[in-house]
Amino acid sequence: MAGDNRKQLGHSWHANALAWTRAVRESRIESRQLATDRAIIEAVLAHQPARVLDLGCGEGWLCRALAGAGVEVLGVDASAPLVEAAREAGGDFLCLDYGQIQADPAQLGQFAAVVCNFALFEEQLAPLLAAVRALLAAEGVLLIQTVHPWQARGQEGYRDGWRCEDFAAFAGEFPEPMPWYFRTLESWCEVLQRSGFRIEALREPAHPHTGEPLSLLLEARPSS
């Protein structure tokens, strides 16, 4: 079952590339406009990194925002249509899946910061996080922004497990549902620790009016 979910996850990002690109570029995702886009940009720039890897970059919006602030940035994504859209808008992008990165992290060089912005949807993250450690320069930082576990728990409850995103909340036509693996806060902390990271900061970007958390933002560094 997990293998089927992983296959469908990859397929969905190819099938939904056009709809996703439009949703991002036409500002259709409210939480992004309210807090989460700004949160990840500010979190990255606070470290004044010389070179950044945007892992799971999608159509490239974050790469362009960071490049506009004077940061050297490389975007990597497994979806060829998304990488094509990113390149058309300008920037440095590669089409690689996580397995290819895990097999040879050195092909990308080293980075002062690696960013995973709503890009970690698989159950088994330890192999990828091991590759991220190899990608980080001395004193490098990993920044992960993801759905807020409590807000995203849904009817399945607050427990780890595969879920399905049908994109019904987003305007536009998304032809394929996207399986994704839900983690509790405890589970996020555990997988990072088990993969050799120590969490240095944990933030909860919130709705500016209601105060409800819109995402979880973790900053971590290799523990040794």
Domains of the chain with CATH codes: 2-222 (3.40.50.150)
pTM: 0.96
Distance CA 75, CA 55 (A): 6
Distance CA 53, CA 115 (A): 6
Query: 1-16, pLDDT tens digit by residue?
Result: 567 998 999 999 999 9
Distance CA 145, CA 118 (A): 6
Query: 121-167, pLDDT tens digit by residue?
Result: 999 999 999 999 999 999 999 999 999 999 999 999 999 999 999 98
Mean model confidence pLDDT for the chain: 95
Chain centroid, CA 62 distance in Å: 10
**Are 165 and 23 spatial neighbours (Cβ–Cβ below 8 Å)?**
no
